[in-house]
Every structure is written in structure tokens, then in C-alpha cells.
Structure 1
Amino acid sequence: MNSSDAVLAGLDSELGWLREIYTHLHRHPELSLEEHQTSQLVEEKLTAFGYNVTRIGGTGVVGVLANGAGPTVLARADMDALPVTEATGLPYSSEVDGVMHACGHDMHVSALLGAAKLLADNRRAWSGTYIALFQPAEEVGAGSKAMVDDGLITKAPRPDVALAQHVMPFAAGTLATTAGPVLSAGDSLKITVHGKGAHGSMPHMSVDPVVLASSIVLRLQTVVSRETKPGDFAVVTVGALNAGAKSNIIPDRATLLLNIRTYDNQVRSAVLAAIERIVRGECAAAGSPREPEFENYDQFPLTSNDRAVTDQVTEAFTAHFGADAVSRATPQTASEDFSRIPDAFGVPYTFWLLGGVDPETYQAAVAKGTVSRDIPANHSPFFAPVIEPTLSVGVQTHVVAALSYLTKDA
């Protein structure tokens, strides 16, 4: 029996309380940086398991289990929910108005707690140090930064490798890995452009920011189509354009909200520079009386998996679950802030995807070609991973990945 099998032999006996943890968290979601009850629950569990527990970054929790000589592995789960009104109709639906675990972070917390418990209970099977890190505020890109800013790299042991996973809308019981970019860098940008207000019947007396903003929106479409090299990935979306409040008043300003996604930091820099150049150019062309204002917010770093770490973890997954259960992940256009943690320590990492949809339901949708229509995606009010086999596989992935480094004969 190998180390993973030895540690996971007791999984079935742990699934009862883990299901209770998951349904409790789903019923009681907490928004970003408000994860107080979730953090308390995690802290109590880790302490009971024998971990040395520290609060870092407000509601962040780090549990450290030192178990002799060997590597140090950090595993991370995010904890925050979304401002979404649940529509699943599940018996354990959210009891908090307008708040829902619509991205599976309740599953992430439950799976990492399960792995932490099994590793604590089976210390003879491995050697090294295991760090279970529970991060707040992933949804707004602020939680990992809050933990780093609060001294994470001095308050926790330096890991040799960092691991994380995310439940996604594909068949439960399967998982996907890839080296290189797996999640895009994400930038949200608020741009305010200034005009000169006037009566709607006297447009010649104005510098119309509505026309100015409209010109900017159209010109921004060329950033991807004409300034980004074919084959390079970039998305520039104008999600909101707000100006004025009355039909016969030309306002004095307009605000645009942009979202940018890229897989390459050089492409990211070029896209952001092009956006600023276009905005300033259009403002100058319109005779804007003031320079435009740029505000970056909700920024997410690129998640780009280390090849050596990914290959090692993928090999361990394939040996444990079988080749049919492990596929190559397609890079996702969604974004995450996990990578700030290993980047702060200066260590390699891998981030894999975990299926969360009932396998029969998913295969039926694939056969009909209706996956995008019939399978709720993350952030949907209908999104909720099927508890099994998602939970048990989520625990196993954390254990197997960690033990690919922590086994005594590794």
C-alpha cells in the first residue's frame, strides 16, 4: 500500500462530517472579507486536528502541521461567497438573502479540511510540513494580497511548492491539469472622461462626454482586432457606460467600466497601454477640458502553472485515479488571485480544475450539444456542485498532490 492509499483508507469514515460542513457553509455564505463564521469554523477544526493555527489577513486562516524532516507543501482553499440570490432549490440552499456560494468555495473549504484531517491522522505515512491555507476575498482579488500584506511570508513556513484547485462545470469524478497559463490575468478599469455640460438644445455650447465615451468604446474594439498579435489571447470588454440623467441635459462627464483578460504579462501591459493611449487621444480630439482619470481595481494576477510541479502532480493523479479521469485543461478566461501567495514566497505552484457536475447529467448534455445551455456555470444562481463524488475526489486530489512531495520515499 502506498502512502496515498494509506492516508485515504479512512476517507469514507470522514465523509459524514465533511458533508455536514459543506451543507452548513452553503447555507451560511459570507461575502469577501466578511468570512468571520467560516474562519472561526476552520480555525476550530484545524486546532482540533493538531495544527498550529494563525489568523493572517483579517479572516485568513493558516494551519501548519510539522511532521519531521522533508519538504513543505502549502495547499490553499478560498472561502468567500458572491452577492447572488440562489435559485437551485436545494434543501441546503443559502439562508442569507442575496448571498450565495455560487462559485464552489464552500466545496474548496470542505475538501481541504478533509485532507488536513486525514494527513493529521496518518502522520506515519509521510514526512515534512503541511500548510493548509484558507484565503478570504478571492472574488474581489483582495484576499491573497491582504494575507501577504499582513506578513504571510514571515508568519508561515516557506513552502517548497504551493497547490490549489477549483471546482468547475464538468463531470464530477474527473479533473484537469495543464502546465503554463490556466487562468487569465484580470484587470478591471474605471475611466472617467470629462466634457462641458450644456442644455440639450444647445449642443454647440458643450463638449459632449456621451459622444466622447461612445467614440472610445468603438475605438477600443481595435485593441484586440488590430493591435494584438493573432494567436495571442486578449479580451477587452466595456461592461458599463454611465453618463447623464436627463434627456435635455448634456452632462459634464462619463464613466466607463472595463474588464481586461490576458494570458501573458507582456500582452497585458501592451493592452493596458493601448487603452490609455486611445482614451487620451479621443479626449484630446474632442477638446476635453480635463485629462481623463484611470482607476485600477479588482486586479487578478496571471495563474501560470509550473511545468515540473504540474507534471509531478499530474503523474500522481493519473496513478491514483486512472488516465481516463485526468485530462488536459483548456486555459480558462476566468481569473484567480491564488498565485500571489506562491509568488510572494518565490516558489512554484500548480492549480488544477475539479469537475462538479453529476456525470450522467453532464454526459447527456454533451451528447445533445447543450452543455452551455443546460449546465450552470460558476457565478450562476443555479450553480451548485453535486456533493458526491465532488467532495471525496476533492479531498483525494489534495492528499495525492501533497503526498507526491511528502511521502517518505519521494
Structure 2
Amino acid sequence: MTAPARTVLAGLDALRPDLEDLYRDLHRHPELGLREHRTAKKAADALRDCGYDVTEGVGGTGVIGVLANGDGPVVMARADMDALPVRERTGLPYASTATVRDGDGREQPVMHACGHDVHVTCLIGCARLMARRRDAWRGTFVALFQPSEENGDGADAMIEDGLTGKSPRPDVVLAQHVLPYPAGYVGTRPGSFLSAADSLRVTVHGRGAHGSAPQASVDPVVIAAMIVVRLQTVVSRELAATTPAVVTVGSVHAGSGPNVIPDRAVLELNVRTYDDTTRTHVLDAIERVVRAECEASRAPRAPEFERIASFPPTVNDEEPTRRVADAFAAYFGDDAHTVELQTASEDLSAIPRAFGVPFTYWAIGGTDPDRYAEAVAEGTVSQDIPVNHSATFAPVVQPTLDTGVSAVTVAALAWLGAGDGDGG
């Protein structure tokens, strides 16, 4: 470990109890995207308390904290803040019982089912440590707390609200995510890391009729069924076996009774790809298949396509990823790994793209190491280890928080650690 990292992280022991309390508080009080008012205030207050120049309300609830500390690089570290509409089933003493009202007035449960409470806590911990030992580094550290990552619109909301004019232009953007690996694990990956994700709503039109007179209909249920089957061949027969992609038909809605042939069917699809060429091919293939099946069934109207969500691919830049991987190897030793390609998606990359700078994004583990080892030994990892977005997903407090704080601090100091070494 470099001298600056050793100096800055020496303060973690004293900070640990406060960070653990903060994490449990955030977990108990989750907030959905663009409603993260309490979480954002916690972050802003923590940054101000240790001397950061703070800008609030960016893109709705986003927070930017800037700590200038002499000449040197500018490093931005980002944490996402939002939770999910999931009813928690972890059984933890600090489990969420929070609910909100949706647009129709219905009560909706809320849970930190993806670990963003970990991300917020770790970035606050890093920010506090960096402020306490300014003698160990030089440059500018920017802590960015982003809303609404789960909806894929939080990064864009901050950008549209003038992010690039409200923050110093960074030399690099850093981010991390807790995943269902053993706590203590850190994993980097150059190049493709997370997939692009596109969600589509497709409406196919038919001609309604009584169930006893099918000859008078054009049955959209049959059209939808043929589309579902045929879409399974897009990946299996149109892409090379070495090209990863996923096409999922997540929902099909049609009809109102057993003896009524409806006049339309609505399908919702999700597509995961890792490069623009494959993404374009798969999306074009979906449209081709849908139009062809409608034509084959004599549909009276052309199908309608609506893009309802879109995430860019997360493709780590080579040089910053190598620099962070080297720093992690020096600090974490055997716990530093190369992480596998992931099919989850993120909107982080919109932020460095807006600034025109490189970025790197890595994984930390959050599963109890003994539980994970037992599942590996029994071959039941996929069955026994809760994954992100599960109602039972709950990272163990330690060593998850220590690892996350240490990882973002070590990574930032890979650029900023050119101060006076061990300091006073």
C-alpha cells in the first residue's frame, strides 16, 4: 500500500462506528428515484461538516461536494442513492418498512434491494477521511451523489441541470457497486463490464370477435405467441455463440375474458447487449420479427414500438482500470480479482461522457464469506445467495463497508496521492 493510502485509511477505525450507524439508518429509510430528499440531505450535511463546497438539488436531488486541496488532478467519485419498489424480507432489525404512494394512490413498499445505501455510506466515509488527512494528497476530490440510477434517468437529469458547469472537470470518474460476491472481495474489469439495456413496449393489433367465431377475428394472442417463440431465435441463430446477448419477453397482456378474442396484445421486452453493433442488430431483428408475424397473420394495423427505458453499456477505459487494479492488488492482495462480465446495467457512463473523460467502475462483495463458501462447496450459489433486487438482498455490514470505503479511497489516491507521504 502506498504511503498516502496508509495515512488516509489510518482514520477508518475511528470512523467505523459512525459509518455503520449511518448505513443502518439509510437502509431503514430508503427512497425511490428523484425522491431521495432525506438521503441527499444526509450526504450534503456530511460533506459540509468536513469542509466541502456543496451544491444540492442537481437534477432534482443530486449532490456535488468539492474539496480543493492544491494543484493536482481532479478525481470524481460517484455513489447512487435510490432504492427499489420491493417489500423487504431480510428479517434484519434495521429492515425497511417504508412505503410510498404511487401515481394511482396505491401504497408501494420501498427497500434498498440493490445496495445503494452501501455506496452512499462508503463515499461519505471516503470523503471524511480525505478531508481529515489533506497533508497526504494533492488535487481536488469531488464526491457526487446521483439520484435515480434504477430508472436510468438520474445521470441525465444531473447533466441536463448543468452538472458540467457546477463541478470541476474531472480527470477521471470512479464508481463501485456491491454485488453478491464474498464481502472483502474487490473486482476490476477492463473494457466491457455491464451490458446496455433497452426495454420496449410492443403493441400488436388484431380484430376482436367472439370466441365461438374465430373466423371473424385476427387473433392478436396468437400473433403475440408466435412473436415470443420466434424472438428466441434472435440470439440463438443470428449471433455468434461468442457474442453475449439476452432477449427477454417479460410480460404479455391481452384480453379480458375466456370467450372474447381481443383486438390487441401488448408485449414488454428487455434486451441486454455489450456493444453498439450487437445492440443495433438485436433491436432491428426484434422489429423485423414483430412486423413479419403481424403481416403473416393479416393484422389490420402495423405494430407500434415504444422505447420505455434505455441504459448505455458500461465499458471501462483501459488505463484508469489498470491503475486502479494495480492499486487494489497492492492494498487488498489476494482479495483483488478480475470480475466476470455482468448482465446488469448502469447509467454512470453518461457522466464521464458529458465531461469527455475516462472512467472505471468496479465491484465489491457483500455476502457473508462463510455463507458464500458453503454455497460454493455445495454448488448452490445461484439458489442460496440473494442477488441484487431480491427482497432478501442484504450485504453484511462488515467487512463490506470497510472494503467499500477502502476501495474508493485507494482508487482516488491512485491519482491524488502525491502529497507529503505519511503526514503528521
Q: Taking structure 2 as the reference length, what is the TM-score of the superposition?
A: 0.95
Structure 1 unaligned residues grouped into runs of 5+: none
CA distance in structure 2 between the partners assigned to 1:383 and 1:76 by the alignment: 22
| Aligned twin of 2:179 | 168
CA distance in structure 2 between the partners assigned to 1:200 and 1:163 by the alignment: 58
Q: How does 1:221-370 map to 2 (within 5 A)?
A: 221-322=232-333, 324-370=334-380
Q: How does 1:109-188 map to 2 (within 5 A)?
A: 109-188=120-199
Give, as a single letter, the amino acid of the residue that structure 1 aligns with 2:39: T
Is 1:396 aligned with 2:406?
Answer: yes
Structure 1 segments of 4+ aligned residues over 4 angstroms from their partners: none
CA distance in structure 2 between the partners assigned to 1:238 and 1:358 by the alignment: 33
Q: Is the 8 A contact 2:88 2:97 kept in 1?
A: no
| Aligned twin of 2:387 | 377
Query: How far 1:408 moved relative to its partner?
Result: 1.5
| Aligned twin of 1:22 | 23
Give, as a single letter, the amino acid of the residue that structure 2 aligns with 1:365: A
| Aligned twin of 1:86 | 88
CA distance in structure 1 between the partners assigned to 2:66 and 2:206 by the alignment: 56
CA distance in structure 2 between the partners assigned to 1:128 and 1:75 by the alignment: 14
C-alpha distance after superposition, 1:351-374 (max 9, x if no partner): 101011111111121112111121
Query: How far 1:201 moved relative to its partner?
Result: 1.2
Query: How far 1:95 moved relative to its partner?
Result: 2.6
CA distance in structure 1 between the partners assigned to 2:384 and 2:238 by the alignment: 36
CA distance in structure 1 between the partners assigned to 2:370 and 2:248 by the alignment: 35
Give, as a single letter, the amino acid of the residue that structure 2 aligns with 1:120: A
Percent of matched pairs sharing the same residue? 58
Is 1:386 aligned with 2:386?
Answer: no
C-alpha distance after superposition, 1:18-54 (max 9, x if no partner): 1111000000011111111111111111111111111
| Aligned twin of 1:46 | 47
C-alpha distance after superposition, 1:163-222 (max 9, x if no partner): 100001111111111101111111111101111111111111111111111111111111
CA distance in structure 1 between the partners assigned to 2:170 and 2:308 by the alignment: 29
| Aligned twin of 2:74 | 72
Between 46-55 and 263-272, the greater mean CA deviation after superposition: 46-55
Q: Taking structure 1 as the reference length, what is the TM-score of the superposition?
A: 0.98
C-alpha distance after superposition, 1:238-286 (max 9, x if no partner): 0111100111111111000001001111100110011111111111222
| Aligned twin of 2:65 | 63
CA distance in structure 2 between the partners assigned to 1:321 and 1:221 by the alignment: 42
CA distance in structure 1 between the partners assigned to 2:237 and 2:89 by the alignment: 41
Give, as a single letter, the amino acid of the residue that structure 1 aligns with 2:20: R
Query: How far 1:230 moved relative to its partner?
Result: 2.1
Give, as a single letter, the amino acid of the residue that structure 2 aligns with 1:95: T
CA distance in structure 1 between the partners assigned to 2:309 and 2:36 by the alignment: 18
| Aligned twin of 1:35 | 36
Secondary structure at 2:398's aligned position in 1?
A: helix
| Aligned twin of 1:9 | 10
CA distance in structure 1 between the partners assigned to 2:252 and 2:144 by the alignment: 39
Query: How far 1:391 moved relative to its partner?
Result: 0.3
Give, as a single letter, the amino acid of the residue that structure 2 aligns with 1:68: G
Secondary structure at 1:387's aligned position in 2?
A: coil
Structure 2 unaligned residues grouped into runs of 5+: 100-108
Give, as a single letter, the amino acid of the residue that structure 1 aligns with 2:392: F
Secondary structure at 2:267's aligned position in 1?
A: strand
Query: How far 1:298 moved relative to its partner?
Result: 2.2
Secondary structure at 1:176's aligned position in 2?
A: strand
CA distance in structure 2 between the partners assigned to 1:225 and 1:318 by the alignment: 38
Q: Is the 8 A contact 2:204 2:294 kept in 1?
A: yes
C-alpha distance after superposition, 1:68-109 (max 9, x if no partner): 111111101011111111111111111314211111100000
Between 289-298 and 178-187, the greater mean CA deviation after superposition: 289-298
Query: How far 1:141 moved relative to its partner?
Result: 0.8
Q: Is the 8 A contact 2:205 2:299 kept in 1?
A: yes
CA distance in structure 1 between the partners assigned to 2:375 and 2:240 by the alignment: 35
Secondary structure at 1:388's aligned position in 2?
A: coil
Between 152-161 and 392-401, the greater mean CA deviation after superposition: 152-161
CA distance in structure 2 between the partners assigned to 1:153 and 1:283 by the alignment: 46
Is 1:197 aligned with 2:208?
Answer: yes
Query: How far 1:119 moved relative to its partner?
Result: 0.5
| Aligned twin of 2:224 | 213
